[in-house]
Amino acid sequence: MPFPDKPLIKLELMQASVELSNRGLKQSSIWCGEQGNNIEAEFDAAAFTTYNFYSDIQPNNISAYVFAKSLFDNKEYMRAVYHLETAANSCTKCSFLKLFSKFLNIENKKIENQLEPAGPMILNTETNESLQNLLVDLSTLESVDGYHCYLMGLVLKRLQRNKDAVAYFCKSVCLVPMIYASWYELKSLVMKKEELNDLKLPTHWMKDCFMAEVNSNFQMNVEVVQKLMPVFDAGFEKSPHFFACLAKAHHNLRDFDSSIECFEELRNLDPYRLENLDTLSNDYYVKGKRVELSVLAHDMMEISKYRHETCCVIGNYYSYRQEHEKAVTYFQRALKLNPNYIDAWTLMGHELIEMKNTNGAVQAYRRAVEIDPSDFRAWYGLGQTYEILRMHLHSVYYFQQAHVLRPNDSRFLVALGACYESLDKNAEAEKCYWKAYSVGDSEGSSLLKLGKIFEKQDRDKDKEEKAVAIYQRYVDEVSPMGTVDMQEQGGIFLYLAKYYLKHSSEDGMFLDQANEMANKATHFKNTREAARALQKEVVEKRKEKVSQLMHPVGGNFAQNTLIDLEHNDSV
């Protein structure tokens, strides 16, 4: 549906921010408040100021709710539950706050118990029992609203009943479209486009915002950029959140310059906002912007030293400086502050690989995958780790998972092809390398590896011709980019020179090509001597050709040439 006028959107966001805050949904309240604050429009202030959150709470329950909410804000969750026991029986708002407090208490205990010596199986059993009891409490309620549906979805998600959780999150946004938390959870659970088409969603402008973001799950980043344009036009052109969505789409497209530009615009809009700046630090890392990465880490330290994003950015900075132990220390700090922080788990896995701690890396990557099965970086990291351990069958599985999540990422296809090669499955390896080239090889190695497979089998004439065709295409298209190791390029030029020299008797033009390739091979130290030897052979072949022309079989060359010229004159 089309977006309503800006004043109406702003009023709806401001009212939702108050409603969500009073129910304890802090992040959703911040989201709505941020969007409303950045819409430049005059809204109906009278309608907002006359809005009363407590209007539908019975007068005798208001004091209990206000006190319980204060306890909730102070993270005294079970105390809040105790003081809402009576009020919750006749008030849906009191009922939600009571049950949400129970849920957060279960989450806190789970985090605390992770530090205990008891085994993980015992801890998981205790948590699941508590969640099952909470599920029973929610199921027996006589009156539920969109907020109760959101909480039901959360509990089902923790119990790994994702399909049921999705149904409740959909019901939640249909009843109360402004619950951003439900949209956020839906975004994390919908991993296939077919599933997205089956969702029962409301005809509300929040759906358009959701659709703009959710395409990133399917790596449809071009579509994300396109769908964000109407959102910006509707009044969100100064929204840091949607700028971050745009930046992440460019990041996923590996357009790091555009991503950095968007993030820097975001920092101009809200210089104290730290969300998503860990992605900016990754962009600086990839582009080799050491100074910018250092400045970003310093700025975030000044704003909030103990935010998990800050610790992650500092870890990235130390990683860039090759100080891997310090990097791991900061990633561990980030995880103490937020145990479900996927980026920190994945980046710590990378650092542990650098430190030759493959066991620790596997554990870190596995934890990231458990938290978010759609994190392709963790799947890829697991594949690389098992490849180091020469457990190629395991690597194939993990690279396949990464490939499913990002089917057009050539890096995963090349890695998969290398594993198949190690398992002597050349047919599968050929398919992987060719597809990597077809989708746009970001590292320029797929043709080289494909040619190597055919080169190994060049006793077969058909395979030899395929190797030459692949290498020639590599020379024409890829090698000028200098994306592959220089020694490998020298070997390719030498192989082509040998082939053209070998077949020069069939076609005189091959001598020129052989000489050209041999000349290029002389620019590489490892092939220089062999290439010069080939050049000498080319010179000898040319002398033989000239000799054959000067003294052909069946007559004097000069006389035959004269007869041909006279014949041409007569014509």
pLDDT band at 548 (very low <50, low <70, confident <90, very high): low
How deeply is 423 buried, as exposed, middle or buried, from its count of CB atoms within 10 A (0-12, 13-18, 19+)? middle
Q: Determine the 3-state secondary structure of 86 from DSSP.
A: coil
> In Å, what is the CA distance from 148 to each residue of 172, 245, 288?
8, 28, 48
Q: Where is 567: in which H helix or E strand?
A: helix 557-570
| Closest C-alpha among 542, 414, 423 to residue 478 | 414
Instruction: Give the per-residue pLDDT at 485.
Output: 57
- Which residue, 99, 122, 101, is CA-closest to 110? 122
Backbone dihedral region for residue 554 (phi beyond 0: left; psi -120 to 50: alpha; all else: beta): left
Banded pLDDT at 304 (limits 50, 70, 90): very high
Say whether pLDDT at 10 is over 80: yes
At position 405, the amino acid (one-letter code) is L
Residues 64-82 as b or e (16 or more Cβ within 10 Å = b): bbeebbebbeeebbebbbe
Does pLDDT of 556 surpass 50? no
Residue 188's pLDDT band, with cuts at 50, 70 and 90, is confident
pLDDT of amino acid 563: 36
pLDDT at 126: 73
Q: Which tokens in the block code for residue 184?
A: 């956020």
SS3 (DSSP) at 255: coil
Q: What is the pLDDT of residues 358-386, one digit of tens each?
A: 999 999 999 999 988 888 999 999 999 99
DSSP state, residue 216? G
Specify the higher pLDDT residue, 180 or 459. 180
Report the pLDDT value the prediction gives residue 342, as an integer from 0 to 100: 93
The more confidently predicted of residues 118 and 359 is: 359
Tens-digit pLDDT profile for residues 257-298: 999 999 999 999 999 999 999 999 999 999 999 999 999 999
Query: Contact at 8 Å (CB) between 499 and 464?
Result: yes
- Contact by Cβ (8 Å): 31, 276: no
The SS3 of residue 272 is: coil
Residue holding tokens 């040619």?
451
Looking at residue 11, its pLDDT comes to: 92
* Mean pLDDT in residue range 433-455: 83
Low-confidence winner among 187-201, 215-229, 282-296, 468-482 (lowest mean pLDDT): 468-482
Q: Band of the pLDDT at 76, cuts 50, 70, 90?
A: very high
Indicate if the pLDDT at residue 562 is higher than 50. no
Q: Which of 89-103, 178-192, 316-330, 524-538 has the lowest mean pLDDT?
A: 524-538
What pLDDT sits at residue 123? 53
Q: Tell me how far the alpha carbon of residue 466 is from its chain's centroid.
A: 35
Q: Which of 140-149, 212-221, 417-426 has the lowest mean pLDDT?
A: 212-221
Residue 349 DSSP code? H
pLDDT tens digit sequence for 40-57: 888 788 878 777 888 889
At 511, the pLDDT band (50, 70, 90 cuts) reads confident
pLDDT over 70, % of the chain: 90
Q: Is the pLDDT of residue 118 over 80?
A: no
The whole-chain average pLDDT of the chain stands at 86
Does the pLDDT at position 481 exceed 60?
Answer: no
Q: pLDDT grade, residue 23 (50/70/90)?
A: very high
